[in-house]
Chain A
């Protein structure tokens, strides 16, 4: 199994894209937008004049602070985005996350377990503001906007229909023709072009991991697990007796899970291994027990993306855990998407452009 993505492959792929882009985009800018509505981040992708892609991002998080004139003036001066809601100042996005860290508080994340639920109705206007900010107005009325949705969870009772319907409604009101696309399927659209969109896409987010086994653009199996970066943080925090936000900062501080140096890093590494094992075992079981699963004559790729896949040593640990399984599909390589934080939004953009 060739598990490394070689330089040659990468260059060929990009060279191919560039020549195609110069032929196809010389006349007009591509219409359509991709929107990744993640548990931790909301990202929108649009094609640029030059044929590249620009991704605007904001954290899907809020922090309530007491409203007084002083705080409001301060936030305005510092250009920290806020809204006044029910008499409170609500700081939005990345700034909420940073302020919460400074003051040792936890942010409010209405979609932390993957989906917006009916009881999060209070947060909806704020989420909508963030979407408006990252997405902007449609270039023309009815412009396609494909937005990512998680698959049904195998280990949690999740409300995909409500979530999907609500965002579809919001985007339509904003003037878009809105269509949902499964998050991991979008990842396949973004990253597996050179494999004819055949392979396994795994999107490792904050609240969940989404998986899609795709055969020539068609999803054969897709599901999500209610474990992701937050799950790692929560468990690390629990075993070490520290706050979850502290666990997050250890995890994001540039550690390598192949070679944990401290007790804290050891804990992070253990839960990463557990998450990967759990996920792959579930793909294995579901693939074996599922009906109408495609047979793959040639080995396929596994592509990983999302913030949780950014940790040092992720792919190597993945390969190590993978080698312990008797996986039913032959695998050629396992790699992390080069733009691991952009992939889902870009895949949504591909779907929007094709009108899939």
Chain B
């Protein structure tokens, strides 16, 4: 492929950023502005003139060259605008995810504090309340986990969307989003472990059906040959003796 000259990128790279205050300090009251596309137009015009004047190439080839250059320029310009828009969208998404995450953490913290307060209020007499509270806190955690999982999916989608945008900015965001996805994984694990530690929790109070639904839905959609494959089956001795024994021990027939 021929090397392309990205006029806009070059202009951007060479340009220096300054603030209005800085200019004012230097005593500047007015600025003349020019569009980048005009500069690029002027460059192209001068190339055409130089080439024509040099008489190195016939006129048609000069025209063709100039046409190709302007098409490339337009293409590059479009790509850059798209990249900038994507980078802006990703930045907004990132901010939103960070905010949601903070809120989720705060809510979890609050739930913990409430549980702690309840636990401290009741002494031995409040044991059943503490049990119920354990269930509630697990339910809250379950909800949190579902939310975090949804967030994680959102972040992953964001990271995938960032991949085609070639700009350095977008790549940086992609990295940041993956980092957040990683952090979310850790958080999910930790929440889960916390739930596991509270052995007083009655699982009946925690609703896992949504997660189960999702797994079932997803597995039903998967392309697979599992139905056509045989699996290992082992024969073993029966269990009726065991059942009779248990029934007898429990005073049954």
Contact = CB atoms under 8 A, between A and B. Distances in A.
Given A80-B229, A81-B225, A170 B236 contact: no
B189 interface: yes
Contacts of B236: 45, 52-55, 339, 342, 346
Interface string B202-242: 01001011011111101100111110111111111111111
Nearest to B138: A161
A226 interface: no
A54 B234 contact: yes
Interface stretch (A14-22, A96-104, A297-305): A14-22
Contacts of A189: 242, 246
B115 interface: no
Contacts of B37: none
Contact of B224 (A54, A55, A82, A160): A82
Interface string B83-118: 000000000000000000000000000000000000
Nearest to A153: B196
B182 to A, nearest CB: 10
Interface in A199-229: 216-217
Interface residues of A, number: 80
Interface string A290-328: 000000000000000000000000000000000000000
Contacts of A138: none
B193 interface: yes
Given A93-B231, A118-B192, A53 B246 contact: no
B244 A20 contact: yes
Nearest to A41: B232
Contacts of A17: 237-242
- Classify the interface of chain A: helix, strand, loop or mixed: helix
B234 A342 contact: yes
Contacts of A132: 219
B231 A83 contact: no
A84 B222 contact: yes
Nearest to A157: B193
Looking at A45, A94, A166, the one whose CB has the most chain B CB atoms below 10 A away is: A166
B38 to A, nearest CB: 46
Interface string A115-140: 10111010011101100111000000
Contacts of A47: 238-239
B198 to A, nearest CB: 7
A133 B232 CA distance: 11
B231 A117 contact: no
A214 to B, nearest CB: 12
A49 to B, nearest CB: 11
Contact of A79 (B218, B229, B245, B249): B229
Given A17-B239, A79-B230, 4 more contacts: A18-B241, A119-B185, A173-B209, A350-B243
Interface of B: 138, 142, 145, 149, 185-186, 188-189, 191-193, 195-199, 201, 203, 206, 208-209, 211-216, 218-219, 222-226, 228-247, 249
Interface of A: 13-14, 16-18, 20-21, 24-25, 30, 45, 47-48, 51-58, 75-76, 79-85, 92-94, 115, 117-119, 121, 124-126, 128-129, 132-134, 152, 157-166, 168-170, 172-174, 180, 189-190, 193, 196-197, 216-217, 338-339, 341-342, 346, 349-350, 353-354
30 contacts: A17-B239, A20-B241, A24-B243, A48-B235, A52-B238, A53-B237, A58-B232, A76-B225, A79-B229, A83-B223, A117-B193, A118-B145, A119-B186, A119-B188, A124-B218, A125-B219, A129-B222, A134-B231, A159-B189, A159-B193, A161-B138, A161-B195, A163-B196, A169-B208, A172-B212, A173-B213, A189-B242, A216-B249, A217-B249, A353-B243
